[in-house]
Amino acid sequence: MPGSRHSRFASAHDVELCGFAATGERRAFGELVRRHGSAVRGVLRRMGAQTAEADDVAQDAFLTAFERIAEFRGEGTFAAWVKKIAARIYLRRLQRDRRLTLMTAEAIEDEADPPRGDADANIDLEEALKALGEAERLCVSMCFGAGLSHTEAAEALNLPLGTVKSHVKRGLEKLRTRLAPEDGVVLEGRRGNG
Amino acid sequence: MAELEFERRLERLFAEAPELADAGAFAERVERRLDAGWTARRWLIGAAGVVGGVIGASQLMVSGLFQRVETAGDSARLLSTSLNHLSTSTDWITAISSGGAVVWVAAGLAVIMMGFVLTRVIGEI
């Protein structure tokens, strides 16, 4: 009875759903897509993908995840795993269309001071990300949104590790000036996850 | 310390992705693509099975397997007769080999084995 199966899946934990999906149960995987689709599409949009492209890539990422569901060991969350897959697929698209080369080249030349934000203004993340160069936005989103380490991001982008770190550092500096501080904390520093 | 706080805040902001209005429709599109993929796969396996079966059957016909089976049956009968001459206590050989039964039993087992292997392969795919 399809209705009861759907309700059973709706109350199941992600790990259980992955187990069902591993046996070929597509409705269980559909429940996972229902739960985490928005998050995956959101990360892709924040990486700079247009709405339609983000949806295409997210669909491909979920299909890939279904094919490779047996590889998911439950070490992290399912959403984090699919986000990484989606980020890599998006990067491959950029490389295939030669958009990535242009993007990183432009970013290296772009050394202008970031526009200063009003610290009291509560600017959301989407708006703040618009202040970043494309490569900075990509690197920051990959590391903080898709959960890739600097090394993984460098490998995926086919860029030297130092270049990725520079993009992330500059991106964080710009974001810090755009995002209103929480509880009046003065924010400085950088990420160093290798 | 402050840098870590900012990074954690940024990770939180990234994690707080709003639920998109068409989340259900998106999930249905993915499910449809999954279903389409499985249907195509089933058709592909079925078509491959039919083609393989036709090729196998035609090869059997061409190679004259059925004549060979009859010959093997005759040989088995001849062998059992010879053995009967040697010893009257080997009645079981006569029972099995009469009419080429051995050959047919072996062929049946081979078909069952092939079916089992095919089932496993489809399961693995």
Per-residue pLDDT of A114-156, as tens digits, reads 444 444 344 588 888 888 988 899 999 999 999 899 999 998 8
- Of A8 and A190, more confident: A8
Q: Which residue has the tokens 């009469």?
A: B98
One CATH from 1.10.8.50, 1.10.10.10, 3.40.50.10110, 3.40.50.12160 for A98-194: 1.10.10.10
How much is the pLDDT for A181? 65
pLDDT beneath 50: ranges in chain B: none
Q: In whole angstroms, what is the distance from residue B107 CA to residue A53 CA?
A: 55
Domains of chain A, residue spans = 1-97, 98-194
CB contact, 8 Å: A41 with chain B?
A: yes
Give per-residue pLDDT as tens, A44-54: 999 989 999 99
Query: Phi/psi at A113 (nearest 5 deg)?
Result: -65, 140
CB A185 within 8 A of CB B2: yes
pTM: 0.64
How much is the pLDDT for B97? 56
What value of ipTM does the predicted structure carry? 0.72
Model confidence at A57: pLDDT above 90: yes
Q: Is the dihedral of CA A80, A85, A90, A91 positive or negative?
A: positive
DSSP state at residue B16 = -
Considering only CA atoms, which of A88, A174, A93, A165 is closest in space to residue A133? A174
At A50 the three-state DSSP class reads coil
A140 to chain B, closest Cα gap in Å: 10
Question: Where do runs of H (alpha helix) occur along A110-181?
Answer: 125-130, 134-140, 150-157, 161-178
How much is the pLDDT for B124? 57
Q: Within the 20-39 window of chain B, which residues sit less than 8 Å (CB to CB) from chain A?
A: 20, 23-24, 26-31, 33-35, 37-38
At A13 the three-state DSSP class reads coil
Q: In whole angstroms, what is the distance from residue A47 CA to residue A59 CA?
A: 16
Q: Which residue has the tokens 């199966």?
A: A5
How much is the pLDDT for A194? 44
The answer to whether B26 contacts A172, with C-beta atoms less than 8 Å apart, is no
Mean pLDDT of A12-28: 89
CATH of region A1-97: 1.10.1740.10
DSSP B28-71: HHHHHHHHHHHHHHHHHHHHHHHHHHHHHHHHHHHHTHHHHHHH
Give per-residue pLDDT as tens, B27-59: 999 999 988 877 777 778 888 888 888 787 777
